[in-house]
Structure 1
Amino acid sequence: MKYKKISFKELVLMNVSALYGIRWIAKSTSDSFGLGLGAIPMWVIFMLIFFIPQALMCAELASAYPTDGGLNDWVKIAFGTKYGFLVSWMHWTALIFWYASFLTFLAINVSYMIGRPELADNKTFVLIMSLVVIWGLSFVSMRGMKLGKYFTSVGAFGSVIPTIFLIGMAILAIVVLKVAPSASEYTVATMTPKMNMNSLVAISGITFAYTGAEFTANFVSDMKNPQKDYPRAIMIAAGLICVLYVVGAVCMTMLLPTSEIFAYTGTLDALTKASELLGVPEILVQILALGIALSVLGALVLYIVQPVKMLFGYSEPGIFSEKFMKKNQYDVPEKAILFQAVLITVLLAGVNLFSAVETIYNVLVTMTALTSLFPYVLLFAAYIKIKREKEDKPELYQMTRNKKWGCFLGYSELVICGVAIVCSALPVMGTTSENIIYEIELIGGALFVVLSGLWLWKRSGLKNKKVGT
């Protein structure tokens, strides 16, 4: 059977589906942990200076070294098995924070879905529901998680379609029908990011929102004309994603002032406001909340097992005990799944010390951004090393054939990533006691992730081995 090549259109849609997330609009435009109106130009700037170069670098690596392991294998090729394991470890631990933030977001959307938005501010409701979902999914996943295929089609409904509704309803109510004046004024002054702690922390969120290009980069070798079509596909996908973020941010801030936008409920609050202005029944917001909730649940279902299997099921022998890595009859390392659920429970209980659900959600998203950016430090360092040392092959895709220019872009991405990591750890809580808890959990958690990975490798007694290029 002849293998079907990935089309230009398919690659564009895959990138949009994989990389766009509606929750980042409210997160970026909120005055709390956000940039306010300053988010609008920042989405454009970081698309140009971070996302596009990152995507093209990943495509170059994928073209030279096509592999299902992605950035883990590229780091192994550059620096050896020790750092390949460290990337896998950091990726999995970052997912612990991601799970926690997504579970919180899911509980909040469910409160709107059932017509009880006041429950979104109830810490007990959010915590209990989050724990019920993660433990339920964990036990189900031990029997072989095949539910994911039933959720893949709702991803677009949960992100892109609510965004289209938000944009369409806002323009209709504020611009066309002029039912109400815009809640914000758009000038150079108002859209210039304020250089305060909240704005600097928000930069890490926007940087993180633009990561993930490595997941679709491996398809570069499956295109008919990758040297020409892949850069075009990335440019168009980046443009579409950027338009969704920018126009979505403008429309959300037309409906609500940035002081009234909250990262955890902003999207649904804006949709509720638009529905009120247009006289649309509340059931529309409940349906859209259901769609977002299903897409979040689908993401959790799809990702709850695979990262665990990749880390604990296929790590170098000797890092984890055989009993811990042992798979059941469904090919799932169930002890590792239980360990993951325990860690998520501890994390959710820890952040529940903060006073409000909004703070809890913002902290979890920031912790996710901080830990998720660590593997990209090694990715960009690997690109620089490989770009400098490997022999050019004209038949393979390359971002640029000029080694010095390629290395310069690699260093630029490395600096942006490093600045985002530092910014994410800045103190932004309202009280000294909350700042102490915040810094302990954020910086302490980040150090624990890196140091524990290095300790596990050292304890195993394994030697760092170079992987053949």
Structure 2
Amino acid sequence: MEGKKKFSLFSAVLSVICVVFVAEAAAPVAAIGNSQYFWWLFLLITFLLPYGLISSELGTTYIGEGGIYDWVTKAFGHRWGSRVSWYYWINFPLWLASLAVITPDLLATIFGVDFSTVAQVIIQLIFIWVIIWISFYPVSDSVWILNGAAMIKMLLAVLIGGIGVYVAMTRGMANEITVPSLLPSFDLNSLSFISVIIFNLLGFEVICTFAGDMENPNKDIPKSIIVAGIVIAAIYLFSAFGIGVAIPTDQINTGSGLMDSFKLLTGNSSGLFIGLMAFLFLLTLFGNMASWSLGVNNTVCYAAENGDMPDVFAKRSGKNRMPTGAAMMNGVVASIVVVLAPILPNQDLFWSFFSLNLVMFLLSYVPVFPAFYKLRQIDPDTPRPFKVKGNKATLLVLTILPMLMIVTSLIFTAVPLQFDSASLSEQLPITIGAIAFILVGEFIIFYLKIKKKGSKLNVKKN
């Protein structure tokens, strides 16, 4: 007899918060300035609302481990499903590497020591492979990690927001809030950070891949998305306001923004409080990576089992059926990235790796929204426990708005629109890296196509 599922609605809500709320992305958003408040509200309405509704419908209609791969494949076929699964997967080891890069700095803050380059690489590799080890176990076994990380994230966000408001009230506003400053800024620097806000709002579909561990997925999935969406929006706005009113925009560092914010707000670069904040922040990185690895690995493994990713991703543990092949590949790719990092040109490695992961991640979502609309047309009879209400025109608007936001943000993040040396040195590596990974994906699709043809010929011969 199967035991009682451990993944309750409360755990589902906290897991969504753990997945979606990205504490380390606070700095790039704060760098936008006062217009960030406009962009938060604008994207909450034009992106988060339709995205949350669409994820709730698709996640409860097509329950399984495939997630966005399954939705896109059903709508547009295996070739597009393969593309989505590749983009969705490759972003994760890049993101894992970007967080591994900042781990030595956090430990240096906690213990008050400096690490050599070799020691930093060793620490980064340990961080990566601890995450891989955690991903060998079912989400229900790791639920305490997800719940704990979610609670710590909310605590850090409330603290940074609260301290920021207190500092602004006692020392004065760091950035003057005027009507013109609140209006959107359309300079290329600010627009390139809009993708970070969208990134901060993505991930609701990951909860759908946990359906097998949930008590009542048809009811818990939409409830957890709605409740967590409201909580996340409130947390983001409060923490963004606290940072914005207390810290001058030009003092925010994109690589270590949250910790820099605590240091600037308290006027201390070390001490018990700063060390504790660094430790808690480090714990949230483990929780974030653990939650994402479980969703990403399930999706890419499912795709591989359906012939849309290389066989190595289809390998599962004989003990608990976890996707160990995908997990090991995460570790291999992330390890290669951090080992090569010291020989790369001196730049903000966190932002470089994070931006590249951002581009690949956003690319995987582009087909999801038209897939929702098409599935309504070609598969109207499948029961939909949660169904987005509206006529065809309404559904079209819900489809086009979030997709348009993603495409626009991709252009400003990955396409060089300024050709001065500073802009090119920062953005061109991201462009080249994104093109390289897209080409690798197309090669994989071509290889799998040839492999499938060979399998069919062998079947006919036999």
| CA shift in 2, pair 1:393/1:400, >3 Å | farther
Mapped partners of 2:424, 2:14: distance in 1: 45
TM-score by length of 2: 0.82
| Residue of structure 1 equivalent to 2:279 | 290
| CA shift in 2, pair 1:221/1:421, >3 Å | farther
Q: Do 2:65 and 2:298's aligned partners in 1 also have CA atoms closer than 8 Å?
A: no
| Residue of structure 2 equivalent to 1:16 | 17
Mapped partners of 1:364, 1:42: distance in 2: 24
> What letter matches 1:410 in structure 2?
T
Matched, 1:402 2:396: no
Mapped partners of 2:12, 2:309: distance in 1: 37
> What letter matches 1:245 in structure 2?
Y
| CA shift in 2, pair 1:188/1:136, >3 Å | same
Q: Do 1:97 and 1:368's aligned partners in 2 also have CA atoms closer than 8 Å?
A: yes
Mapped partners of 1:112, 1:329: distance in 2: 41
Matched, 1:347 2:337: yes
1:43 to partner: Cα distance: 1.2
Q: Do 1:167 and 1:251's aligned partners in 2 also have CA atoms closer than 8 Å?
A: yes
| Residue of structure 1 equivalent to 2:231 | 240
Mapped partners of 1:188, 1:173: distance in 2: 22
Q: Do 2:27 and 2:258's aligned partners in 1 also have CA atoms closer than 8 Å?
A: yes
How big is each residue's C-alpha offset from its partner over 1:360-398, in whole Å with a ceiling of 9 and x where there is no partner?
111222112111112211211211111233336897322
Helix, strand or coil at the partner of 1:315: helix
Q: Do 1:256 and 1:270's aligned partners in 2 also have CA atoms closer than 8 Å?
A: yes
* Alignment counterpart, residue 205 of structure 1, candidates 191, 196, 200: 196
| CA shift in 2, pair 1:378/1:456, >3 Å | farther
Matched, 1:71 2:65: no
1:417 to partner: Cα distance: 1.7
Listed as ranges, the matches of 1:335-414 within 5 Å are: 337-349=327-339, 352=342, 355-356=345-346, 359-391=348-380, 396-414=385-403
How many pairs align?
448
Percentage of matched positions with identical amino acids: 19
Matched, 1:190 2:187: no
Helix, strand or coil at the partner of 2:385: coil
Greater mean deviation of Cα atoms: 302-311 or 106-115? 302-311
Mapped partners of 2:179, 2:135: distance in 1: 54
Q: Name structure 1 gaps, 5 residues minimum.
A: 464-469
| Residue of structure 1 equivalent to 2:26 | 25
Q: Do 1:387 and 1:407's aligned partners in 2 also have CA atoms closer than 8 Å?
A: no
Q: Do 2:82 and 2:308's aligned partners in 1 also have CA atoms closer than 8 Å?
A: no
Matched, 1:130 2:124: yes
1:221 to partner: Cα distance: 10
Mapped partners of 1:145, 1:65: distance in 2: 21
| Residue of structure 2 equivalent to 1:466 | none
User: CA RMSD of the aligned region, Å?
Assistant: 4.0
Listed as ranges, the matches of 1:282-321 within 5 Å are: 282-304=271-293, 307-308=296-297, 310-312=299-301, 315-316=304-305
Mapped partners of 1:305, 1:221: distance in 2: 18
Q: Name structure 2 gaps, 5 residues minimum.
A: 455-462
1:19 to partner: Cα distance: 1.6
Mapped partners of 2:435, 2:399: distance in 1: 28
Matched, 1:460 2:451: yes
Mapped partners of 1:321, 1:166: distance in 2: 44
1:321 to partner: Cα distance: 6.8
How big is each residue's C-alpha offset from its partner over 1:379-429, in whole Å with a ceiling of 9 and x where there is no partner?
112111112333368973221241231123212222222112222113378
Matched, 1:41 2:32: no
Q: Do 2:157 and 2:239's aligned partners in 1 also have CA atoms closer than 8 Å?
A: yes
Helix, strand or coil at the partner of 1:190: helix
Greater mean deviation of Cα atoms: 84-93 or 422-431? 422-431
Listed as ranges, the matches of 1:258-297 within 5 Å are: 258-276=249-267, 282-297=271-286
How big is each residue's C-alpha offset from its partner over 1:62-99, in whole Å with a ceiling of 9 and x where there is no partner?
33323332222222221233333332222111112121
| Residue of structure 2 equivalent to 1:442 | 433
Helix, strand or coil at the partner of 1:193: coil
Q: Do 1:166 and 1:271's aligned partners in 2 also have CA atoms closer than 8 Å?
A: yes
1:168 to partner: Cα distance: 2.1
Mapped partners of 1:135, 1:284: distance in 2: 28
Helix, strand or coil at the partner of 2:34: helix
Matched, 1:155 2:141: no
Mapped partners of 1:2, 1:297: distance in 2: 28
Mapped partners of 2:313, 2:362: distance in 1: 27
> What letter matches 1:26 in structure 2?
A
| Residue of structure 1 equivalent to 2:89 | 92
